[in-house]
């Protein structure tokens, strides 16, 4: 997957697909339907999220044909994914939950 320039997330029914987060961790920009939790998981500078298919197709073409733009969006996707869905964030949330439960 990392050899591809853009991750096209077509899931409409999954709350937040693991493949979306995996792609972001790999530094891939994302183009996704705005019908799931992807709306909160993908910042605007990390790709495109919309319910407008024409808008998504345009964003996809831009990312495919402008490699420098795709790299920048992919870096943003990776930074966001690490900060919000990386191991450190995961462990911090578990620690907070365990502290709350045992208090």
CATH numbers and ranges of domains, the chain: 7-102 (3.40.50.2000)
Give pLDDT, residue 21. 94
pLDDT score of 2? 65
Q: What is the pLDDT along the chain (103 residues), one digit of tens a residue?
A: 767 899 999 888 878 888 999 999 999 999 999 988 999 999 999 999 999 999 999 999 999 999 999 999 999 999 999 999 999 999 999 999 999 999 7
> CA separation (Å) from 3 to 6, 27, 99?
9, 10, 41
- The pTM (predicted TM-score) of the whole model is 0.86
Say if CB 64 and CB 70 are below 8 A apart: yes
Q: Point out which residues pair with 8 in neighbouring strands.
A: 31
């Amino acid at each position: 997957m990392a050899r591809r320039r853009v991750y096209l997330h077509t899931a409409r029914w999954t709350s937040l697909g693991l493949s979306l987060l995996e792609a972001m961790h790999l530094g891939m920009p994302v183009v996704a339907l705005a019908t799931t939790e992807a709306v909160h998981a993908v910042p605007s500078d990390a790709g495109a999220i919309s319910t407008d298919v024409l808008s998504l197709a345009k964003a996809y073409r831009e990312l495919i044909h402008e490699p420098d733009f795709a790299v920048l969006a992919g870096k943003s996707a990776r930074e966001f994914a690490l900060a919000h869905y990386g191991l450190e964030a995961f462990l911090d949330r578990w620690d907070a939950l365990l502290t709350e439960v045992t208090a």
